[in-house]
Amino acid sequence: MKSVALLFLVLLSSISLFAQVSSGRTKALVIGISHYENKDIPDLQLPHRDAELFAASLLKNKAFHPDPENILIITNADATLARVSSALDWLFEGTSKRDTLILYFAGYGVIGQDQKNAPSKLFFHDTPPDVSDAGSFELFYQFAQLARLIQPAFMVVGNVLPLVKSDREQLDSISSEVRSKEISIFRHVVSRNYSPSPGMEGRGVTPVQAKWTLNQIVLQGMLGSADKNHDQFIRMKEFGRYIQSSKVSEETSPGYFFVASPHRNFIVSKLDHEIDAHWDALADPVFQSIIDPSWNSKKYLLLKQAGPHSQMLVQDFKVAIRLGHLLEPAGSNAKEILDSIAQIEELSSFLNDFRRQLVAAYQDESQQALNAYLRADSRELTRRRDREASYGVFAKYLAEALSMLGPTHYLNGILMTKKLYFQGLDVRFKGQRNRDRVTIHKALELQLEALTFEPEASFIYNELGIIYGLVEQTEAAIESFTSAVEFAPTWSIPYANLAQTYMETDSRLALRLARHANRLSPANAYTRQVEGLVHLGMKSLDQAERSFLLAIKYDPGYPDAYYNLACVKSLVGEYSETAKYLEAAINSGFIDLDHVLQDPDLAGFRADGLWNKFRSVYFQQ
């Protein structure tokens, strides 16, 4: 039996995917994502390879003779939300009715039953496990909308796989599955939804384990199995009947495969009976990913002919992007360099490419800061706990991206959500530092406005819960944290925040929530700290001590954990240990010394002889 990968290459390098004749260009955007930034999203083996083979096949496509410089392949870490969006803009840039566009996507996703009530959401490399967190956009829908305006010939190929969660997450989350309804946004779609047969669910393979994808059906069909009338042409309607009736191997990944085109008579392939003679002669190729469309060979030659000053500016721009110098420092940041490039005529053909790169960089930097919080990264939690980091810079990045894309761009809502979120976060920190309730209420207004753009964003609900807690609106805080849990059931932070909110009114519920947060994120210092506080409130001092020590283990510079350990030691009369942990807390950044003078948990220490010595060192007389 020949390998599917080899058959795929042979087929598409020897026959035409598209028999239609076009007088314009063929442009293709090919996306395959097997590896994901968030560790809670299991890696795959096949999608990026399927994408590379598909892209390689297009180079051999004799029906349209695509220029290699018009085939853009994005895989794995390069396939962030921002870069996929930028690539989609590239695909339609300069496109006319005479052109042919090809879009291919392979990776995790959810296909909605209809776009209004259940839109499709795809998982890009940096998408959080909960796609409602402004980490995805409707790629197929946006392609259809743009194609409807320009009306080029097109083919869309999707191999969308259900997200397989870990055993822990299966208990804690809403399963994301690929639904069986066809995508209604295209005029004609042929599709196949495959899932293990009844009774086989426990034994069926997952996308992670699969040796084949649903492309296997396509290969067999295009090789001739779908040509039931033997006219050597396979049209969409004929191809659809074939894939619906085909048997699928149990080793095939469950998922939803579809091919969309403008009409049902679109020719999928023209058979070539000489294919068999070529099989053994062809090697398995490695297709070089094209990440940046501005660096194709023709434009590279143009750049080589440019003057030294122009080449230096381009090099400086690339370095600034790589270093993350997007708005700072003055005189050598990417924005200012791009403004200089815009003034040089010989670089005009590069300008749109550079703009897309900068817009993507603005978004990528901001998304990384948000993702660090969503995965409960200890360094990010420390920055937020200390309230010293400025998140206003991310709001500025996103404002720049919004300005460059314009108010009608399909990412406008997503970018506005995150811009207002980061802006509100920065304002809230300022209000806390200055103990200014007016400023804190301004932060509340910004988060409520952000919610109008993304009503299911868990990170906004979590931030609203924090703000409501600061202004002593406990019921609103509980409601907000509960909504955060609903929309991000595998994110530990809102569970821990909800536990703190319930500590005084329902300690048992608070403990259950804190323990659940720790199950979701076992090495999270913040959730361990919250669990310790609940135990401390319940006077379970041994358990509280264990929780605070774990918090310090995962974050050795956590001042609140040291402080609370001091409280535990004071309550059990170990005053030398109390002094040691208080000193560690202060050295780690604990600044609320007035609280030390009033905290009832430290009353025993303050009555001990060690207190005077400690006070003489750390408190002014």
Q: pLDDT tens-digit profile of 563-621?
A: 999 999 999 999 999 999 999 999 988 888 888 999 999 999 999 999 988 988 887 65
The pLDDT of residue 189 is: 86
13 vs 310, higher pLDDT = 310
Q: Give the class (CATH, top level) of 4-18+25-291.
A: alpha beta
Q: Is 379 helix (H, G, I), strand (E, B) or coil?
A: helix
Residue 351, pLDDT above cutoff 80 = yes
Mean pLDDT of 325-336: 94
Burial of residue 188, with CB atoms counted within 10 A of its CB: 0-12 exposed, 13-18 middle, 19 or more buried: middle
3-class SS of residue 261: strand
| Contact of 143 with 88, CB cutoff 8 Å | yes
- Dmax (CA) for the chain in angstroms is 99
For residues 6 and 282, the answer to whether their CB atoms sit within 8 Å is yes
* pLDDT tens sequence across 506-525: 999 999 999 999 999 898 99
Q: Using alpha carbons, list the distances in angstroms from residue 373 to 368, 384, 422, 601.
A: 9, 9, 12, 31
| Bridge-based pairing state of the strands 100-110 and 26-32 | parallel
Q: Given this model, what pLDDT does residue 20 score?
A: 52
CB neighbours of residue 3 within 10 Å: 10
What is the H or E stretch that residue 243 is in? helix 236-245
What is the DSSP annotation of 157-209?
EEEEEPPPPPHHHHHHSPPP---SSPPTTSSEEEEEEE-PPTT-TTTSPPTTT
Per-residue pLDDT, 198: 42
d(CA 603, CA 495): 31
The whole-angstrom separation of Cα 223 and Cα 15 is 9
- Summarize the confidence of residues 189-204 as an average pLDDT: 58
Q: What gap in Å lies between CA 333 and CA 356, rounded to an integer? A: 16
Say yes or no to pLDDT of 299 above 80. Answer: no
CB 190 within 8 A of CB 243: yes
Tokens of 111: 């296909």
**pLDDT confidence of residue 64:** 63
Q: Which residue has the tokens 């490695």?
A: 286
Q: Tell me what the mean pLDDT of segment 92-114 comes to.
A: 85
Predicted pLDDT of residue 537? 94
Q: pTM for the complete prediction?
A: 0.84
pLDDT value at residue 46: 87
Instruction: Tell me how far apart the alpha carbons of residues 303 and 513 are, in angstroms, rounded to a whole number.
Output: 59
What's the rounded Cα separation, in Å, for the pair 116 and 85? 21
Q: Which helix (H) or strand (E) holds 29?
A: strand 26-32
For the chain, the structural domain boundaries read 4-18+25-291, 299-363, 387-490
pLDDT one-digit tens code per residue, 432-454: 988 899 999 999 999 999 999 99
Q: Is 151 helix (H, G, I), strand (E, B) or coil?
A: coil
Backbone angles phi, psi at 16, to 5 degrees: -100, 130
DSSP run (H or E) holding 460: helix 458-470
Tally the residues of the chain: 621
pLDDT at res. 12: 40
**Distance between CA atoms of residues 419 and 425, nearest Å:** 10
- Tokens (6 digits) for 146: 């743009």
Among 451, 509, 458, 510, residue whose Cα is nearest residue 484? 458
Max mean pLDDT among 166-170, 313-317, 479-483 falls in 479-483
Cα separations (Å) of 107 from 31, 90, 265?
8, 21, 28
The distance from CA 571 to its chain's CA centroid, rounded to whole angstroms, is 45
What is residue 501's predicted lDDT score, i.e. its pLDDT? 96
Say whether pLDDT at 199 is over 50. no
Which helix (DSSP H) or strand (DSSP E) does residue 546 occupy?
A: helix 541-554
User: 209-213, 248-252, 483-487 — which one is most confidently predicted on average?
Assistant: 483-487
What does the block give as tokens for 601?
């948990």
- Quote the tokens at residue 475: 């019921």
**Number of neighbours of residue 281 by Cβ within 10 angstroms:** 7
Q: Which residue has the higher pLDDT, 501 or 390?
A: 501
How far is the C-alpha of 129 from the C-alpha of 106, rounded, in Å? 17
DSSP 287: P
Question: Does the pLDDT of residue 289 top 70, yes or no?
Answer: no
Is 387-490 in the same CATH topology as 4-18+25-291? Answer: no
Which residues does residue 192 pair with via DSSP β-bridges, in sequence order?
257
Q: HSE, CB side, 13 Å, CA atoms: give it for residue 435.
A: 1
Considering the chain, what is the average pLDDT of its residues? 82
Structural contact between residues 74 and 28, judged by C-beta atoms closer than 8 angstroms: no
Domain 387-490 has CATH 1.25.40.10: yes
* pLDDT over 70 (residue 74): yes
Lookup: tokens for 254: 């469950």
